[in-house]
Amino acid sequence: MLSHAFALFIGVLCAQYLPELPDGRMLVVLVIFMLVTAWQRWWWLLALLVGLTWTIAIANNRLAQRLPENLAGKDLIISGQVLSLPDGDSKALRFDFAPDVSELKLPDKIRLSWYQATMSVKAGQYWRFNVRLKPPHGLLNPGGFDYERWALSENIGATGYIRPYPKPVLLEEGSAWRDINVLRQLISDYLAQHQHSALLTALTIGDGQGISREQWDVFRKTGTTHLIVISGSHIALVAGLVYWLVVKLWAYSGVLRYSAQKIAAVIAGLSGVFYSVLAGFSIPTQRAAIMLCVYMWALQQQRVYKPLSVLAIAVVAVVLFDPFAVFAPGFWLSFLAVFIIVYCLSGRLKQPGLVIETLTVNWASFVALTPIVLFYFQQFSLNAPIANLIAVPFISVIIVPLALIAVGLLFIWLDAAEWLLTQLDTLLAYGYQGLTTIAKLPYTTLTLSQPTWPSLLLALPAVLWLLAPKGIPMRGLALVLLLPLFFTEGDKPRVGEFNVTVLDVGQGLAVAIETAEHWLIYDTGAKFSSDSDIGLSVLIPFLRIHGVTALDSLVISHGDNDHIGGSASLLAEIPARQLYTSVPELLSAYQPELCRSGQHWQWEGVEFTMLAPSEQRLGSENNQSCVLKVSNGQYSVLLTGDIEAEAEAWLVEHQREQLATTVLLAPHHGSKTSSTTPFLLAVQPEAVIISAGYHNSFGHPHESVVKRYQQLGIHAVNTADKGALSLYFTQQRYALISQRESQARYWHNTQQFQLTTREE
């Protein structure tokens, strides 16, 4: 059982690392191989091929669901049903939508945004909208969120926005009897009026959209994030309460023909599954519901299954139901946590008491999950064991049962439900304050580089060795095998070398520069809302995978939102020792220095020179952008912000000798107001990098500018097409590598890209 489940799981994993999917002919070949292996009874190989083939078939089906290119960007009148609880506010609502079947051949599910919404949207409603759609396309950066992978895993075949005219029309309200999302919406609406409605909603129906960034930070710093999402303990609690209640009531019924335990097992299993679906059927709830059903079936049939066999069944069921579950950190954390609990409590000669058992599980979970947490988040909390020791019983034993009772009372005794929810508000206020106090303790959150695969693979057996029963020799040596997790460093530039990463930030700019011992960020992309900006979504994850806890320098070229927008979030998490900008009045809280032509410094043989702006004020703010040149004497990069023709002319006149460079960052995202011929002739770049948004509304880069690059023999690449672009400069050569190509997966919108290199 265990070996076959493992083989099937490996097959699913192998499929997810394919750069492109095999065609139908290869699927036929795989099916033939499966028949041969079944005939020969090579069950392990058959299981692996089943996992591989099944995943490829599902992935092909989902990719075929994507919006046809001929419908992209066109006004489409569509009708259908709202599938999810809307996220956001009237400024920007986002929700999943299922279009009705029509001749347009639209995807089964699309993700819509409604800006400046004029009406309220609720799950289950039927609407008619005028929309503009496009295939899923997201930012692609080292350490960043892969939106296209997420869209595939959610079966979202298109994204788009609702047009104001013709006006949206509500066709029909949803029914809670036909759609469980309507029931979730009703519960969410009831809870919304309470102070801690976001936490109550997350703890009861698994919708954490309302939790603020500050609250997530507290949970992250205390290692208690798992308590705020619906997990296996919630499902077990519901099933346990139902089982106990049914057994008691059945005993009073006087019906002895059927066993109370068997009836209770069926009803408890169904209740657990229902609550899993009500809670959004996330991966932890899927795992818990499947394990619950297996245990209840065993109770019904009076059989005994080994815990690891039940866990294996759950793994197989989850990856067959959703092969894309393996992408989620929750998949690994959930299953590994259960495995470690079974490992630490099974097969021991002496069973510990409740207190020792609780402490053992708490400590073992912390140790075992640390490698996975470091891999995904590059941070872990030293105070997590203490915080969980307090928070787990508080949330699981007090808050969640009372919250679920309150939700049940909403539909039968509203006054009692309101009273109970008010008490829960008070309890949550005290509990959250306690977590906030723990989160503020100094030196309890460590930020490290992302572990390498070898160090991660070494850590997993080390954890098992360390947590093995007494009597296993030299368990202390397992700590030695864990050390690479905490001392991992990626390939750093040597003296005289530097790396430049032009991050994929959509319509905006953010550039990271690394020398042997220093880091500089040039611009921070845009801010979209109070909880969303490029600093949060791109820069901080990128810097975390490199283990960066402080910047040596931050340069904000000018004050446009798409260049300065992410700075506050970035500096709140990763402070900068030095800040240069042309708009110090906008960053006065950080004591910035005004960037000026002539500023110069050197880090490990790499020269940094500010070429502009001068003291002479040019026409627009764009022309006041900080222009920075980075050079190691052999190769160089010129960062130009949003300068336009006027500033380019000034540079040609006053800085001509400094302008020659290897790689140019396209001024103003390739706008037609920039990249003049005299400027390009003075710079003489071999390559130009354009940082622009995918199908952006500004038309960047302008067609005439792209043509000009081609006429001058300049190789142009665009982050919108290639994702983040990484430049590696040594004294002998340089290389330009695309994230979208180097990390290609079958769900990415990839194009052919040649590695650009030059050697002396």
Burial (Cβ within 10 Å: 0-12, 13-18, ≥19) of residue 348 = exposed
The radius of gyration of the chain's CA atoms, rounded to the nearest angstrom, is: 29
CA distance 730 to 491: 13
Together in a domain, 52 and 162: no
Q: What is the pLDDT of residue 504?
A: 98
Looking at the predicted structure, is the pLDDT value of residue 538 above 90? yes
Average pLDDT rounded to a whole number, residues 520-547? 94
> Which CATH number covers residue 147?
2.40.50.140
Share of the chain above pLDDT 90, in %: 56
**Res. 597 pLDDT band, cuts 50 70 90:** very high
Q: What is the mean pLDDT of the chain?
A: 90
Q: What is the pTM of this model?
A: 0.88
Same domain, 467 and 577: no
DSSP 137-163: -----TTS--HHHHHHHTT--EEEEE-
- 462 vs 349, which has greater pLDDT? 462
Least confident of 295-304, 514-523, 623-632: 295-304
Predicted confidence (pLDDT) at residue 754 exceeds the cutoff of 50 = no
**Count of domains for the chain:** 5
Domain boundary among 174, 193, 225: 174
Residue 688's alpha-carbon distances to 147, 512, 653, 709, 727, in angstroms, are 26, 16, 21, 8, 12
Checking if the pLDDT of 283 tops 60, the result is yes
755: pLDDT confidence band, cut at 50, 70 and 90? very low
Tell me, yes or no, whether 574 lies in a domain.
yes
Taking 70 as the threshold, does the pLDDT of residue 324 lie above it?
yes
* Model confidence pLDDT, tens digit, residues 110-132: 999 999 888 999 999 999 999 99
pLDDT of amino acid 751:
40
pLDDT value for 226: 82
Residue 75 lies in a domain: yes
- Same domain for 228 and 332, yes or no, is yes
Q: Residue 350 has what pLDDT?
A: 65
Q: Is residue 469 part of a domain?
A: yes
266 inside domain: yes
Q: What is the DSSP letter of 69?
A: G
Residues 113 and 156 in one domain: yes
| Confidence bin at 16 (pLDDT 50/70/90) | very high
User: How far is the C-alpha of 638 from the C-alpha of 625, rounded, in Å?
Assistant: 13
Amino acid 565: pLDDT: 97
644 and 727 within one domain: yes
Query: Over 60: is that where the pLDDT of 757 sits?
Result: no
475 DSSP assignment: G
State residue 256's pLDDT score: 64
Reported confidence tier of residue 759, pLDDT bands at 50, 70, 90: very low
| CB neighbourhood size of 268 (10 A) | 26
Confidence of residue 756 (pLDDT cuts 50, 70, 90): very low
Question: Which pLDDT score, from 0 to 100, does residue 417 have?
Answer: 93
Query: Does 420 lie in the same domain as 397?
Result: yes
Q: Is the pLDDT of residue 56 over 90?
A: yes
The pLDDT, as a whole number, for residue 300 is: 77
Judge whether residue 523 has pLDDT over 70.
Answer: yes
Residue 151 belongs to a domain: yes
Residue 748 within any structural domain of the chain = no
Rounded mean pLDDT of 366-380? 88
**Average pLDDT rounded to a whole number, residues 682-710:** 94
Mean of pLDDT values over 678-689: 97
For residue 394, pLDDT beyond 70 = yes
Check pLDDT > 60 for residue 758.
no
Structure tokens at 323: 């092969």
Backbone angles phi, psi at 402, to 5 degrees: -65, -40
Q: Which residue has the tokens 């808050």?
A: 399
Clarify whether residues 165 and 287 are in a common domain.
no
- Whether residue 214 sits in one domain with residue 138: no
Is 364 within the bounds of a domain?
no
Residues 137 and 278 in one domain: no
Q: Which pLDDT score is estimated for 89?
A: 76
- Of residues 134 and 757, more confidence is placed in 134
pLDDT at 475: 80
Q: Looking at the structure, do residues 661 and 567 belong to the same domain, yes or no? A: yes
CATH of the domain at 526: 3.60.15.10
Asked if 667 and 617 sit in the same domain, the reply is yes
Domain range enclosing 597 = 498-743
Q: Does residue 583 surpass a pLDDT of 50?
A: yes
Same domain, 620 and 691: yes
Tokens representing residue 72 in the block: 């992209």
Confidence check: pLDDT of 586 > 70: yes
Range 475-492 average pLDDT? 83
**Between 564 and 192, whose confidence is greater?**
564
Quick check: is 631 in a domain?
Answer: yes
